C-alpha cells in the first residue's frame, strides 16, 4: 500500500471553539479567536484538529444537543467564519474533523418539533415512539445518577419517545431511509466547507435497531459501509473517527474485514487498561488489550487518547481493577462520575508529577495508532471539580497571566477560568511555558515532532519484547525494513532491563536513543542492559540512523 493515508501518521488535537479563544470579548470563544491560534497549533506540530460541536444548540450537553445541522451557533460566529477557519487550516496543512452527532437531536430541533405536533408529519417517523411506556425503560441509561429512563412522555405527541442519552436528546430513527439520507447530506455539506471527516458520536447507538420491542442491542453494520462509501465518493481523503466503546471482539465489525466500513476508532479498551497500568504499575492487562485489538485492516487505524471531554470511563475493567484505579487516581467521590469513571483532567490525576505526565504522553504517542491530544494537556491544565458533571474538565484554555488567562477580555467567561491553586492560569499558561525551554509545552512539541518522524508506529507491526518484568512495557515496531523500540517503566522504582535485540543481518546493533544522547551498546553476548529511572521511558531506533536509506518503498 502507498503510505499516503494521512490519518495513519497524524497527531490529532481536540478542542472546543467556545472555550479556546474569545475574539469579540463576549466571554465565549469563537471562530475568529480560534483562527488567531492556528499558528500556535501549527507550531506545536499537530496535523489535525477535532472540533467539538459548534452548531446551533441550546447547549444543555455542551453542543451534543444539536438544533440545526447546517449552521454555526451565532455565539461562535457565522458559516462565513467557519469557512475562513477551514481555509486557514488548509493553508497551514492542518486537517479538520468535526463532530457528527446524529444518534439524536436536541428536542428543540425543528424536526422534533414537527414530529411531536403532527402524527402525519414526515418527521414523525424520524424519531422513536411508543404509546405505552416500554417495560425496559429504566435500562440502558448512559448517564446513571443523572438520567433515570430511556423513555419519557411527550405531552404534545401524547406518546413516549426514546432517548438513549439525556431526556432533551430524542433519538433519531436512523433506520428510516430518508433520515439516513439526511445523515449523508449533512456530511456532504460540511465536506464542501472544507472538513476532512467526522468524529462520529455514539456510533453503536446510531447503528442499533431501536424501538419499544427491541430487547437486545442489534447493530446494523451495513450502515457504516454506506457512510464510508459516500464520504470517499465525495472526497477521497475523508474519514470517520468513531466513538464506539465496544468489546475488542466486535472491532472488526466496525472497521469491516477489508476496511470498507470505518477508517478510525478510539481504542477504549487500551485506554482503560492503560490507566490501570498507570495506577498500579502492572502492564499485563494493557498488553492483553493491545493483543486483543491488534487485528485491523491495513487502512484502518486506532485513535489513542488519555483523557477527552467525557469522564474517563472505566466500565470495562473488572471491579477490583476499577477500584484500584479509583484509589490511585480519583479517590474522592466528587472526582468520580456515573459510578464508573473519573472526571478529572490528567495532570491533577497524576499529581502534577512531570515524570508521570511525560510517561503517560510518551505511551500514548507510541501505542499502535494515532495519538489524540486534548487542548490544554500540552501545558498540564487542571480541572474545577465545583463544576457539574463533565464540565469540570472543560474550562477555558489558559494562554497567559493576563486576566482570565488571556482567554477573553470579558470578566464573565462562559465557564470560569481556573484561577486558584497550582493549576491557576497564573502558574499554568502557554506564554510562560513558551519561554521556558524545559516546559511541558516545549517537551510536547519535541515529542510530536519526533512522533511524526516515526511512521513505524502508525503503520508497522508491533511485538512485545521480553523484559522479565510486568512493570516495564517494551514494544517494538517493524515496518519497511526498519524497527523502533520503546520502553516504559510504569513504577516509581528504577528498573534495569535486559533485552535481546538480534537483527539477522547486523553483527552488532546499537539502540540509538531518539530523545537524548543515552544510546545503548550491546554487551559481548549481544544483549542490552538498560537502567530505567523511576517512570523512565526510552525511544530507540534499532541499529543505526541510516534507517531512511534502508526504508523500503512498499
**Which residues are annotated as catalytic?**
201, 243
State the binding partner of 24 from ligand NOJ, Ca ion, none, CB within 5 to 8 A by kind: Ca ion
Angstrom distance (rounded) from CA 20 to CA 397: 5
Residue 286: count other Cβ atoms within 10 Å of its Cβ. Answer: 23
The interface region with Ca ion, picked from 17-25, 151-159, 230-238, 417-425 by CB under 5 A, is: 17-25
Q: Distance from CA of residue 50 to its chain's centroid?
A: 9
CB-facing half-sphere around the CA of 478: CA atoms within 13 A: 6
State the minimum distance, in angstroms, from the CB of residue 165 to ligand NOJ: 4
**Could you tell which of Ca ion, ligand NOJ, none binds residue 64, using a CB distance below 5 to 8 A set by kind?**
ligand NOJ
Stretch that binds Ca ion, among 14-22, 136-144, 453-461, 518-526 (CB under 5 A): 14-22
The reply to whether 311 sits near ligand NOJ by the rule CB under 6 A is no
Q: 390: how many CB neighbours lie within 10 A of its CB?
A: 19
Per the CB < 8 A criterion, the answer to whether 510 and 481 are in contact is no
Q: How many CA atoms lie within 13 A of 205 on its CB side?
A: 22
Residue 202 binds: one of Ca ion, ligand NOJ, none (C-beta under 5 to 8 A by kind) = ligand NOJ
Look at residue 397 and give the partner it binds from ligand NOJ, Ca ion, none, a contact being a CB closer than 5 to 8 Å depending on partner kind.
Answer: none
Q: Which of 137, 202, 279, 392 binds ligand NOJ (CB under 6 A)?
A: 202
Nearest residue to 303 (alpha-carbon basis) of 188, 482, 457, 465: 457
The closest alpha carbon to 403, from 384, 429, 377, belongs to 429
Comparison of 36 and 122: residue with beta carbon closer to Ca ion: 36
Choose among Ca ion, ligand NOJ, none what residue 28 binds, the Cβ cut-off being 5 to 8 Å by kind. Answer: Ca ion
Among residues 201, 311, 358, 445, the one that binds ligand NOJ under rule CB under 6 A: 201
Residues binding ligand NOJ: number (CB under 6 A): 9
Query: CA-CA distance, 119 to 127, in Å (whole number)?
Result: 11
Answer for which of 7, 12, 17, 22 binds Ca ion (CB under 5 A) is 22
Nearer to ligand NOJ, 75 or 199 (CB): 199
Choose the binding region for Ca ion from 5-13, 28-36, 188-196, 345-353 (rule: CB under 5 A).
28-36
Give the x/- contact pattern for ligand NOJ in 248-287, rule: CB under 6 A: ----------------------------------------
DSSP string, 54-97: -SS---TTTT-S-S-TTS--TTT--HHHHHHHHHHHHHTT-EEE
Nearest approach in angstroms of CB 53 to ligand NOJ is 8
List the single partner that 443 binds among Ca ion, ligand NOJ, none, CB under 5 to 8 Å by kind. Answer: none
Q: Look at residue 30 and give the partner it binds from ligand NOJ, Ca ion, none, a contact being a CB closer than 5 to 8 Å depending on partner kind.
A: Ca ion
- The contacts of residue 75 (CB under 8 Å, 6+ apart) are 18, 26, 28, 30
The answer for residues whose C-beta is within 8 angstroms of residue 384's C-beta and 6 or more apart is: 392, 395, 415, 416, 418
How many positions of this chain bind Ca ion (CB under 5 A)?
5
Burial label, 215 (beta-carbon count in 10 A; 0-12, 13-18, 19+)? exposed
From ligand NOJ, Ca ion, none, which one binds at residue 187 (CB under 5 to 8 Å depending on kind)?
A: none
Contact set for ligand NOJ, span 60-89 (CB under 6 A):
61, 64
Closest residue to ligand NOJ using C-beta atoms: 64
Cell 413516549 locates to 160
Q: Answer yes or no: are the C-beta atoms of 52 and 309 closer than 8 Å.
A: yes
Kindly state the smallest distance separating residue 170's Cβ from ligand NOJ, in Å: 12
Q: Which of 129, 165, 190, 540 binds ligand NOJ (CB under 6 A)?
A: 165
Residue 30 binding Ca ion, by CB under 5 A: yes
Q: Does 101 bind ligand NOJ (CB under 6 A)?
A: yes
How far is 541 from 524, CA to CA, in rounded Å?
20
Minimum CB distance to Ca ion smaller for 30 or for 243: 30
Nearest 5 degrees, angle CA 464-CA 359-CA 357? 155
Question: What part of residues 135-164 is at the interface with ligand NOJ (CB under 6 A)?
Answer: none
Taking CB under 6 A as the rule, does residue 14 contact ligand NOJ?
no
Residue 310's binding partner among Ca ion, ligand NOJ, none (Cβ under 5 to 8 angstroms by kind) is ligand NOJ
Nearer to ligand NOJ, 116 or 309 (CB): 309
CA gap 541, 501 in Å, rounded: 11
Q: Is 358 helix (H, G, I), strand (E, B) or coil?
A: helix
**Residue 525 contacts by C-beta under 8 Å, 6 or more apart in sequence?**
none
Query: Counting contacts by CB under 6 A, is residue 310 touching ligand NOJ?
Result: yes
Q: Closest approach of Cβ 22 to Ca ion, in Å?
A: 4
Q: What is the CA radius of gyration of the chain?
A: 24
Interface characters, 353-382, with ligand NOJ (x: CB under 6 A): ------------------------------
| Residue 526, C-beta contacts closer than 8 angstroms, at least 6 positions apart | 500, 501, 502, 508, 509
Whole-angstrom distance, CA of residue 37 vs CA of residue 125: 43
C-beta of 169: minimal distance to ligand NOJ in Å?
6
Residue with cell 510562560: 432
Q: CA angle, corner 63, sides to 153 and 167, nearest 5?
A: 15
Binding footprint of ligand NOJ on the chain (CB under 6 A): 61, 64, 101, 165, 201-202, 243, 309-310
Binding footprint of Ca ion on the chain (CB under 5 A): 22, 24, 26, 28, 30
Amino acid at each position: 500500500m502507498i503510505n499516503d493515508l494521512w490519518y495513519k501518521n497524524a497527531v490529532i488535537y481536540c478542542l472546543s471553539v467556545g472555550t479556546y479563544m474569545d475574539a469579540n470579548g463576549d466571554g465565549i470563544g469563537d471562530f475568529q479567536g480560534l483562527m488567531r491560534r492556528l499558528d500556535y497549533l501549527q507550531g506545536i506540530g499537530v496535523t489535525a484538529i477535532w472540533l467539538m460541536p459548534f452548531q446551533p444548540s441550546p447547549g444543555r450537553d455542551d453542543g451534543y444537543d444539536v438544533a440545526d445541522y447546517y449552521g454555526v451557533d451565532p455565539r461562535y460566529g457565522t458559516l462565513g467564519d467557519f469557512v475562513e477557519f477551514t481555509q486557514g487550516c488548509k493553508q497551514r496543512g492542518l486537517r479538520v474533523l468535526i463532530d457528527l452527532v446524529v444518534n439524536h437531536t436536541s428536542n428543540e430541533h425543528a424536526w422534533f418539533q414537527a414530529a411531536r405536533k403532527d402524527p402525519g408529519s414526515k418527521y414523525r417517523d424520524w424519531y422513536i415512539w411508543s404509546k405505552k411506556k416500554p417495560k425496559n425503560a429504566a435500562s440502558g441509561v448512559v448517564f446513571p445518577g443523572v438520567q433515570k429512563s430511556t423513555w419519557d412522555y411527550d405531552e404534545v405527541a401524547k406518546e413516549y419517545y426514546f432517548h438513549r442519552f439525556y431526556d432533551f436528546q430524542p433519538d433519531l430513527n436512523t433506520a428510516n431511509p430518508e433520515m439516513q439520507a439526511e445523515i449523508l447530506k449533512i456530511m456532504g455539506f460540511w465536506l464542501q466547507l472544507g472538513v476532512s471527516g467526522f468524529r462520529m458520536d455514539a456510533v453503536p447507538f446510531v447503528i442499533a435497531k431501536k424501538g419499544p420491542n427491541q430487547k437486545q442491542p442489534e447493530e446494523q453494520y451495513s450502515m457504516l459501509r454506506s457512510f464510508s462509501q459516500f464520504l470517499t465518493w465525495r472526497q477521497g481523503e475523508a474519514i470517520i473517527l468513531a466513538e464506539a466503546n465496544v468489546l475488542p471482539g466486535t472491532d472488526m465489525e466496525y472497521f469491516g474485514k477489508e476496511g470498507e466500513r470505518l477508517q478510525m476508532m478510539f481504542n477504549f479498551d487500551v485506554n482503560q487498561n492503560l490507566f490501570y497500568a498507570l495506577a498500579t504499575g502492572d502492564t499485563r492487562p494493557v498488553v492483553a488489550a493491545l493483543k486483543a485489538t491488534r487485528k485491523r485492516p491495513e487502512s484502518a487505524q486506532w485513535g489513542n487518547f488519555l483523557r477527552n471531554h467525557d469522564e474517563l470511563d472505566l466500565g470495562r475493567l473488572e471491579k477490583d481493577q476499577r477500584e484500584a484505579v479509583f484509589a490511585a487516581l480519583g479517590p474522592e467521590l466528587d472526582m468520580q462520575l456515573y459510578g464508573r469513571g473519573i472526571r478529572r483532567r490528567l495532570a491533577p490525576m497524576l499529581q502534577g508529577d512531570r515524570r508521570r505526565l511525560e510517561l503517560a504522553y510518551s505511551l500514548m504517542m507510541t501505542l499502535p495508532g494515532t495519538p489524540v491530544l486534548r487542548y490544554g494537556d500540552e501545558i498540564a491544565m487542571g480541572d474545577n471539580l465545583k463544576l457539574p458533571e463533565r464540565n469540570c474538565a472543560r474550562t477555558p484554555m489558559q494562554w497567559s497571566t493576563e486576566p482570565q488567562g488571556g482567554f477573553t477580555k470579558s470578566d464573565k467567561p462562559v465557564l470560569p477560568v481556573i484561577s486558584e491553586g497550582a493549576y491557576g492560569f497564573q502558574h499554568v499558561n502557554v506564554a510562560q511555558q513558551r519561554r521556558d525551554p524545559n516546559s511541558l509545552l516545549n517537551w510536547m512539541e519535541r515529542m510530536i515532532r519526533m512522533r511524526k518522524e516515526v511512521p513505524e508506529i502508525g503503520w508497522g507491526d508491533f511485538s512485545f519484547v521480553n523484559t522479565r518484568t510486568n512493570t516495564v512495557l517494551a514494544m517494538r515496531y517493524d515496518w519497511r525494513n526498519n524497527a523502533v523500540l520503546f520502553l516504559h517503566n510504569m513504577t516509581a522504582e528504577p528498573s534495569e532491563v535486559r533485552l535481546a535485540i538480534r537483527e539477522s543481518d547486523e553483527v552488532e546493533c546499537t539502540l540509538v536513543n531518539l530523545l537524548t544522547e543515552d544510546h545503548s551498546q550491546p554487551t559481548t553476548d549481544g544483549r542490552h542492559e538498560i537502567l530505567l529511572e523511576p517512570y523512565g521511558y526510552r525511544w530507540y531506533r534499532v541499529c543505526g540512523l541510516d534507517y531512511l536509506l534502508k526504508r523500503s518503498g512498499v
